[in-house]
Amino acid sequence: MKNKLKKLYKSINTLRGKGRAFIYLKSGKKPWSRGYNEFKWKMIKTVISDPKVLEVFKTGKALPEKYCFGLDERVIEFPWLISQMPDRPIDILDAGSTLNHEIILDHPVFKNKKITIANIVPEHNCFYNRGISYILSDIRKMPFKGDLFDMITCISTLEHVGMDNTIIYSKENKYQENNKWLYMEAVEELMRVLKSGGKLLITVPFGVYENHRFFQQFDHEMVKKISDKFPSQVNETYFKYGEGWQKADLKAAADSHYFDIHTNKNIREDRLAAAQAVVCLEITKK
C-alpha cells in the first residue's frame, strides 16, 4: 500500500509539473516565472538522456542552434559533468550537493558510483536508499584523509565560498563572509582529498567580476589563480548565452554579466536567466 501511494503521489506531481511547464511556454518563456523550474528540469532530463548531446559536450563541438533558450546554466553544467564521467565504478565526492536531484541520480552513469555529498546545511531530500552518504561540512576543511576520492564535483558552488551564505543557505554567523579569495582554500582542500590521477570538476559563473553578496561572478584573474596553482593540470571550457547557449572562447566570455533575479525584475529580451557565461574546469591531480 505504501509503495502504491508513493507511485500515485509521484504521478500527481508529474502531471502538475507538466501543467506548470505548459503555462511557462504559453506565457512567453519568462525566466523564473510559474513553470520555469518544471520546464528547465524537463529539458535537463532530455539533454542528459541524449547520447548525441553528451557526445557534443565530451568532444567540445558546437551545440545545436538556440540550445536551451531562456534557461540558466544548469543546462550546461549537468550535461558537461555527465559527459566527463567514466563508465567504471569510482568514489565521488559532490562538494556543494549539486548532484542531489533524483533526475540526475537516475542517470545510468551513476549506477555504479559510490557518492558522498558534502554541504554546510542538511539536505531536505536524502537518497540513503541509493547508498549515498551525506556529511555536514565546510568544503574548506573536511574530515577526510588525503587521496581518498577518484573524482570530485564542485558544480556552481565555489562562487559561494567566502561570501555571505547567511542570506540564503545558512543561519550560522561564521558563514557571513565577504572575502573574494577564500575560494582557493576550498580548491586546495578538494585537491588534498582527491586521489593522484583523479579529476576535480568545477563550474562557476564567468565574465566581469561581480559581487552579489551571497555569491560572486568569477573573472579571468580568479580562474587564472586556479590554473597558476596547478599548472598544466587544468582544462578550461567556456560557454556563453546569446539566443541560447553556445561554446565560446575566453575573449568572448570575458565581458559577460550576471542577471540576478533577486535584484533585477526586468526580464531581458533574450530571456537571460542567470549567468551569461560559465567556465567549466577539469583539473587532474598529478
Concatenating the DSSP letter of every residue in 211-245 gives E-SS-EEB-HHHHHHHHHHSTTSEEEEEEEEESEE
Bridge partner residues of 164 (DSSP): 176
Q: Which domains are delineated in the chain?
A: 49-284 (3.40.50.150)
pLDDT at 168: 93
pLDDT at 6: 43
State the DSSP code for 63: P
Indicate whether this model's pTM tops 0.85.
yes
pLDDT at 19: 73
pLDDT at 5: 38
pLDDT at 16: 56
Strands 234-242 and 277-284: antiparallel
pLDDT at 22: 80
Q: Extract the residue ranges of the chain whose pLDDT is less than 70.
A: 1-18
Q: 120-147 pLDDT, tens per residue?
A: 999 999 999 999 999 999 999 999 999 9
CB 189 within 8 A of CB 145: no
